[in-house]
Amino acid sequence: MNILVVADPIESFKIYKDTTFAMMREAQRRGHSISVCEQQDLLWQRGARVTSHVRDITFTGQPDVWFEVTQSRSVALKDFDAVIMRKDPPFDSEYFYATHLLEQAERDGARVFNKPGALRDHPEKLAIMEFPQFIGPTMVTRDEADIKRFHAEHGDIILKPLDGMGGMGIFRVGPDGLNLGSITETLNRHGAQSLMVQKFLPEIVLGDKRVLVIGGKPVPYCLARIPQGSEVRGNLAAGGKGVAQALSARDLEIANALGPVLSRRGLLLVGLDVIGDCLTEINVTSPTCFQEIFDQTGCDVAALFVDALEQALAGG
C-alpha cells in the first residue's frame, strides 16, 4: 500500500511523542510505502488532477536523523492508496482551501482520511453542540450581554476562542466577574468574532481526558491531561501532565454513542475531550496522544489505527 501523509514539516517532529510519526512508522513496519508532503505542496491546475510535490521516505531507526528521502517527485493524489490529512491546527483559510483541493482529489479517485468534507463540517469546538446530552452548559455567541447573562446564571465560567488550539486563549472568570468585560472584548474583538462560553467544570483537577475513537470504536485507554500548579488548562502544550488510564463507564458511553456516527461521516480518527462526565471538544484535524498511551499502558494505538486504515481501504 502506498500512503501519502499531508503534515507539517517532518523535520520539526518530536518523534518521542509525535502521533503522525507513530502512524507512519507502524505503516512502514508492515511494508507500506510512505510519502510526505505539506499543505503548500498541493497543486490543482486547470483540466488536471490534483497533484503534489512529495518526498518518499524510509525510516532509519536513529533518533537524530530518523528518515531518509529516497525520491522527490510530483504525483497525482489518486495514485496513492490512501492520503492521510495530518496538518495540525489552526483551521485557517489555507487549511480550508486545502480541504477543497483534497475533496477534488477524492473526485479524481483518491481515498482521503479524515474525509475533507467531514473536516470542514466538524469545527472542533462547535461540533459538540450537536450532542447536547453529553455536554455541560455551553453557549456560542459574540454578544457581550449574552455572556454576562450566562455568567450571572452559572457564576464560574470558561471563555475560549472557537479557533484556539493547545489551550490557547482560554480564560476562567469566577463568581466575582473580575475582568469579564475586558476578556470578552479581547476574545470577541468588540463584537466581531464569536466565542464559546461554558460552565466551569471543577473535575478538570482530575484531568482533561483525550478519548481516542478509531474506525468508530474507542481505544480502551485515554490520556488524562492534568493541570499543574495554578493553571486551569490541562493541555500538554500548556504544561499539563499526561496520565494514561482506562476509560470510565461515562467515557465509553460517550465514545460508543458518537463513534459510529462520526465514522459514517468519514472520520476515521477522532479525539474526544472529556472533563468529568462532559464532552468538551471533538478533535478531527490531527488528534494526538498515541505514544503517551502506548508508553504508559502498552496499548499500541498506532497499530489500531493502521488496522482501521487497512480495513477501510479493503472495504472499498
pLDDT in tens, 232-279: 777 777 678 999 999 999 999 999 999 999 999 999 999 999 999 999
Where among 200, 215, 231 does a domain terminate? 200
pLDDT of residue 234: 72
260 and 192 within one domain: no
Q: C-alpha cell of 262?
A: 462520526
Number of domains making up the chain: 3
Q: Which of 88, 122, 117, 125 is nearest to 101 (CA)?
A: 117
pLDDT value, residue 269 = 98
Indicate if 273 belongs to the active site.
yes
User: Catalytic annotation on 125?
Assistant: yes
Report whether pLDDT(21) > 70: yes
Q: Which residue has the cell 489505527?
A: 305
Residue 281 annotated to the active site: yes
Domain co-membership, 306 together with 211: yes
**CA 241, CA 255: separation in Å to the nearest integer?**
23
Q: Could you tell me the CATH number of the domain that includes residue 264?
A: 3.30.470.20
pLDDT, tens digit (0-9, with 9 covering 90-100), for 170-192: 999 999 999 999 999 999 998 99
Active-site residue, 156 included: no
**pLDDT surpasses 80 at 110:** yes
Which of 18, 210, 251, 292 is labelled catalytic?
210
Query: Any idea what the Cα angle at residue 12 is, between residues 271 and 70, rounded to 5°?
Result: 105
Span 288-311, pLDDT tens digits:
999 999 999 999 999 999 999 999
Q: What is the pLDDT of residues 217-241, one digit of tens each?
A: 999 999 999 988 777 777 777 678 9
Among the listed residues 115, 160, 199, 209, the single catalytic one is 160
The answer to whether residue 17 is catalytic is no
Catalytic residue among 225, 235, 251, 292: 225
Q: Which of 111, 233, 235, 292 is catalytic?
A: 233
Domain of 112 in residue numbering reads as 2-116
Average pLDDT, the chain: 95
pLDDT of residue 142 exceeding 80, the answer is yes
Residue 316 has a pLDDT of 58
User: H or E stretch including 302?
Assistant: helix 301-314
Joined together, the cell numbers standing for residue 278 give: 462532559
Active site (annotated) includes residue 160: yes
126 part of a folded domain: no
